[in-house]
Structure 1
Amino acid sequence: MKRRSAIKTDLFADQHHKQTLDKLGDPLAEIESCIDFAALAAAVDRIAPRPASPQGGRPPFPTETMVRILVLKRLYNLSDEQMEYQLLDRMSYKRFCGLAQATNIPDRTTVWVFENRIGEAGAQAIFDGVTAQLLKKGFIARGGQIIDATLVPAPKQHFSKDDKAQIKEDAMPADWKPAKRRQKDLDATWTKKHGKSHHGYKLSVNVDKKHKFIRKIVTDTASTHDSQHFEAVMDPANTSRDVYADRGYPSEEREAWLKANGYRNRIQRKGHRNKPLSETQQGRNHRIAKTRARVEHAFAAIEQMGGKLIRTIGQARANFAMTMMAACYNLKRLAYFQRAKIVPA
């Protein structure tokens, strides 16, 4: 007796799959429903106008399509090569980027060229554009601001002793050909944290206590001390004057600056040799830690977006990647609020 196959064929199977995807809950559809990508694309075009297409040449893909691709890249931490493959393979990716019926898909070179065209200013325009839409929806910065920094790892570089000596003198090793030079990141730096060495860059952020959106960012190399970005990421728009930070930030000068500018100091105290913290100070640190931990939730969410590792070479591209990290975190956070039907308060 011939057994029936469990696989059924249908000319409209693709449509059925899309309907099933919607029922299950497509996270990209949630993001699309709460963000105006056309507005983000317009902001990018103002910063980096689209080049004129040569007569007879293939016109470039719409900026909105490319911005959506950059969001996908950062949400899932994909390389240009992986992005090209996934655009060909994944229905949800094609639909999100408006390419479901397209015969041609942006390849890895197209994605690379677009990133280089818009540069750091373009990534900042996307971050600022998302921030503007948050405010428009009523998600203003409330409850106080929490300042912290996270290390963003980059591929480790291997240099010979002679190479290191020449690089230290701002000279380029004579045996480095152009192709090899392009693969060497001379900007990323080493630092130590909790006894472990880390190589890469640093992302300093300001997160509001109420909604945990990233409001301000500063990018730098890993060896830069966290406290150097404190004033740069301060957000005067926050409705509360409370400022939270960990034990890496306190100083007499900073305390005086906060007081002079009308802020309430919620920075944890740091003990010193032969002068440990009192019980009262320890208790204060513990109370602050409960609130300050909210910024760690943001870093954990970024880590879940495929990890924080960046594959680029040089600080300019690293800055681009870290700015997109922050923008995409805010996108996911906004989608969460919409899914949970949480309204701004």
Structure 2
Amino acid sequence: MATPLQLGFTDYEQTYAKKKTRRQIFLEEMEATVPWDSFLALIHPVYYKPTAKGGRPPFPLEVMLRIHLLQQWFTLSDPLMEEMLIDTPCFRRFAGIDMIDDRIPDETTILNFRHLLEEHQIAEQILESVNQSLSEKGVMLKEGTILDATIINAPSSTKNKKGKRDPEMHSVAKGNQWLFGMRCHIGVDAASGLVHSVVSTAANIHELKTAAERTHGEERVIYGDAGHIGIEKRDAFKGCEAEMRIAMKPGERRVLPDTAEGRLLNLVETAKAHFRAKVEHPFRIIKCQFGFRKVYYRGIRKNDLKLKMLFALANLWIIRERCPCIA
């Protein structure tokens, strides 16, 4: 864990203020919830080591990890992250940086650390590690899975050096609106509402094509919206013993007859919708709380790794009160 810091005047003002800001409260909660030792153990084997040739030593791994998590939680670019460390005392305290004695990582150092995590797919390992710990503690039960997907917009402008849009993104019609970007498909534990699977594709890839990748094979029941109609006919689900509770098409539901049978079917669909609502909570956290409403990198792979890190952190946010520390 970070060592105690020598506080400046601004740090003292914030530390001993009568009222804590929402940002301070959030960071204190995540400080107690994040399994730091587990995360550090995943990154340590690939982190830069001092060499006999000398040169400036690398920043402490924990400092860089904390800065990276701040980037995810507050949707900060590499240059803006450097500025926020200079400008914001609570960020420096969380990162373990002493403004008087320590260097502050510049934007290039922050960029290189992010690239290191991407190169070794650390985000995917972190999501697996978090979910494994939650399963061992009985928080994630794995008896049911809720499937859903959301479209994340990408810049459609061609005002860039190449004069082209991102070739890996795609346009798709949703209702009467055309969107350009990627689609994030997730599988959510039906009991806890925690994300256990994340698959990223272009926006025009149908949800059914990734359904098998978002289930773990131990489900007794699988929930999905109307986009998953016909899932039992897919080769991956033939012989699957899990009960499929897929929503009726909205058009069919609207014309249900006003009879006892029609009203019963409508109540069943309402019950399904209430249960499926759990899948929207992780989307709300990454879009509204963490601010990931649009694609920030070019290509599916980079954004897929960012999403896996965000959903791992979203899982920790969801369980912060039930299970304050999973380490």
**How do 1:311-322 residues align onto structure 2 when only pairs under 5 Å count?**
311-322=296-307
Q: How does 1:68-87 map to 2 (within 5 A)?
A: 68-87=66-85
Aligned to 2:38: 39
Is there any run of 5+ residues in structure 1 with no aligned partner, and where?
Answer: 1-9, 160-178
Assess if the C-alpha contact under 8 Å between 1:209 and 1:294 holds in 2.
Answer: yes
> 5 Å matches for 1:76-155?
76-100=74-98, 103-119=102-118, 121-141=121-141, 144-155=144-155
Cα displacement (A) at 1:67: 2.2
SS at match of 1:139: coil
Could you say if the C-alpha distance between residues 265 and 61 of structure 1 is closer, same or farther in structure 2, counting changes exceeding 3 Å? Answer: same
Does residue 288 of structure 1 match 2:267? no
Larger radius of gyration: 1
Q: Summarize deviations over 1:241-277 as a string: whole Å, max 9, x none.
A: 121100000116448965722201111133789x966
Query: 1:20 offset after TM fit, Å?
Result: 3.7
Return the match for 1:65 from 40, 63, 66.
63
The structural deviation recorded for 1:43 is 0.9
1:327 paired residue among 309, 312, 324? 312
SS at match of 2:228: coil
User: 8 Å contact 1:35–1:133 — kept in the other structure?
Assistant: no
- Is 1:297 aligned to 2:277, yes or no? no
- Residues 119 and 246 (structure 1 numbering): CA distance in 2 closer, same or farther, change over 3 Å? same
The CA distance in 1 between the partners of 2:236 and 2:80, in whole Å, is: 47
- CA distance 1:52–1:197, shift in 2 (3 Å): farther
Q: Describe the shift of the 1:19–1:130 C-alpha distance in structure 2 as closer, same or farther (beyond 3 A).
A: farther
Q: How far off is 1:11 after superposition?
A: 7.7
* Alpha-carbon spacing, 1:104–1:57, altered in 2? closer, same or farther (3 Å): same
Q: AA paired with 1:213?
A: L
Distance 1:98 1:134, change over 3 A: farther
- CA distance 1:31–1:222, shift in 2 (3 Å): same
Q: Quick check: 1:14 aligned with 2:16?
A: no
Q: TM-score, normalised by structure 1?
A: 0.78
- Compared with structure 1, are the counterparts of its residues 94 and 137 closer, same or farther at alpha carbon in structure 2 (3 Å cutoff)? farther
Equivalenced residue count is 309
Residue 152 of structure 2 aligns to a residue whose secondary structure is strand
Could you tell me which runs of 5 or more consecutive residues in structure 2 were left unpaired when the two chains were aligned: 1-6
Report sequence identity in percent.
27
Query: What corresponds to 1:174 in structure 2?
Result: none
Contact 1:154 1:310 survives alignment (8 Å):
yes
Letter in 2 for 1:26: I
Structure 2 residue 157 is the aligned partner of structure 1 residue 157: yes
RMSD: 3.2
Contact 1:201–1:318, Cα closer than 8 Å, also in 2? no
Change (3 A) 1:113 1:11: closer
Pick closer, same or farther for the CA change 1:11–1:150 going to 2, 3 Å: closer
Cα shift readout 1:87-114 (whole Å, capped 9, x = no counterpart): 1122221122121455211121111111
Query: Is the CA contact 1:191–1:223 (under 8 Å) kept in the aligned structure 2?
Result: yes
State the secondary structure of the residue aligned to 1:187. coil
Deviation (angstroms), 1:191 = 1.1
Post-superposition Cα deviations, 1:283-306, rounded to whole Å, max 9, x if no partner, equal: 432221110111112211221112
Q: Distance in 2 between matches of 1:334 and 1:182?
A: 44
- Cα distance between partner residues in 2 of 1:252 and 1:27: 40
Q: Could you report, residue by residue, the CA deviation over 1:104-159 in whole angstroms, capped at 9, with x for unpaired residues?
A: 11121111111112216122122222223323443123562211011112222328
With over 3 angstroms needed to count, the CA separation of the structure-2 counterparts of 1:54 and 1:191, relative to structure 1, is: farther
State the 1:23 CA deviation.
Answer: 6.0
In structure 2, C-alpha distance between the alignment counterparts of 1:54 and 1:184, rounded to whole Å: 45
